[in-house]
Amino acid sequence: MKILLSTLTLAFVFSANAQNFKGKAIYKTSMKSNFKISAENNPGMDENMQEEIRKRMQKMNQKTYVLEFNKYNSTYTQKVSLDAPKTSIGKISPIMMSFGGTGNSSIYYKNIQEKRFVNQTEIMGKRFLVKDKLPEHPWKLSSETKHIGNYTCYKATYSKEVENKNITFKDGDSVESIKKETIVTTAWYTPQIPVSNGPGTYQGLPGLILEINDGKKVFVCTEIILNSSEKTNIMEPTKGKIVSQNKFIKIQIEKSDELMEKFKGRNGLDLGNGINIKIGG
Q: How far apart are CA 230 and CA 225, in angstroms?
A: 10
Distance between start and end Cα atoms, the chain: 74
Alpha-carbon torsion, ordered 11, 12, 15, 19, to 10 deg: -160
Predicted pLDDT of residue 79: 85
Q: How far apart are CA 128 and CA 237, in angstroms?
A: 11
Average pLDDT estimate for 263-274:
51
Whether 264 and 173 have beta carbons less than 8 Å apart is answered as yes
HSE toward the beta carbon, residue 194, CA cutoff 13 A: 12
Domain that holds residue 191: 20-279
1 pLDDT higher than 50? no
Question: Considering the chain, what is the average pLDDT of its residues?
Answer: 77
Average pLDDT estimate for 109-135:
95
- Give the helix/strand (H/E) hosting 48: helix 47-61
Assess if residue 73 is contained within a domain.
yes
More confident of the two residues 13 and 149 = 149
Number of structural domains in the chain:
1
The pLDDT-based confidence of 49 (bands split at 50, 70, 90) is confident
Predicted pLDDT of residue 180: 85
Predicted pLDDT of residue 70: 94
Candidate from 59-68, 98-107, 128-137, 243-252 with smallest mean pLDDT: 98-107
Assess if residue 147 is contained within a domain.
yes
217 pLDDT higher than 70? yes
Predicted pLDDT of residue 193: 95
More confident of the two residues 257 and 111 = 111
Radius of gyration of the chain (CA): 21
Assess if residue 152 is contained within a domain.
yes
Predicted pLDDT of residue 48: 72
Assess if residue 5 is contained within a domain.
no
Whether 144 and 131 have beta carbons less than 8 Å apart is answered as no
Q: Which residues pair with 281 in a beta bridge?
A: none
The pLDDT-based confidence of 91 (bands split at 50, 70, 90) is very low
Assess if residue 1 is contained within a domain.
no
- List, edge to edge, every strand of the sheet that includes 23-31: 140-148, 151-170, 173-190, 208-213, 217-226, 23-31, 63-69, 73-78, 107-111, 116-123, 126-133, 241-243
Candidate from 123-127, 193-197, 210-214 with smallest mean pLDDT: 123-127
229 pLDDT higher than 90? no
Assess if residue 61 is contained within a domain.
yes
Q: How far apart are CA 206 and CA 190, in angstroms?
A: 8
Q: Is the pTM of this model over 0.75?
A: no
> What digits encode the pLDDT tens for the residues 3-39?
333 333 344 444 445 455 789 999 999 876 555 555 5
Triad 200, 203, 209: Cα angle to 5°: 80
Assess if residue 106 is contained within a domain.
yes
Average pLDDT estimate for 126-147:
96
276 pLDDT higher than 70? no
More confident of the two residues 236 and 256 = 236
The pLDDT-based confidence of 255 (bands split at 50, 70, 90) is confident
Q: Which residues pair with 156 in a beta bridge?
A: 141, 187
Assess if residue 3 is contained within a domain.
no
268 pLDDT higher than 90? no
